[in-house]
Amino acid sequence: MKLTEKNVKAGMPIAAIGIALGLAVVIWTSRKVGYSWDYFAAYWLPQAAVLGVALLFRASWNALGGIAMAMAVYLYLLDVWGTDPLIWLVYLFSFPGVLIGVLVTLVFPSRKPFEAVIAFAWVALGIVLNLSIFIP
Tens digit of each residue's pLDDT (9 = 90 or more) over 37-79: 777 777 888 888 999 998 898 888 888 988 999 999 998 888 8
**Which pLDDT band holds residue 1 (cuts at 50, 70, 90)?**
very low
Of the CA atoms within 13 Å of residue 104, those in its CB half-sphere come to 16
Query: Rounded CA gap, 23 and 68, in Å?
Result: 10
pLDDT at 81 over 60: yes
Query: What would the pLDDT profile of 89-127 be if each residue is shown by its tens digit?
Result: 788 888 888 999 999 988 887 777 788 888 899 999 999
**pTM to 2 decimals?**
0.83
Q: How far apart are alpha carbons 67 and 64 in whole angstroms?
A: 5
**Rounded distance, CA 77 to CA 69, Å?**
12
* Surface-to-core class of residue 102, CB atoms within 10 Å of its CB (0-12 exposed, 13-18 middle, 19+ buried): buried
- The DSSP output letter for 33 is G
Among residues 3, 120, 136, 125, the alpha carbon closest in space to that of 64 is found at 120
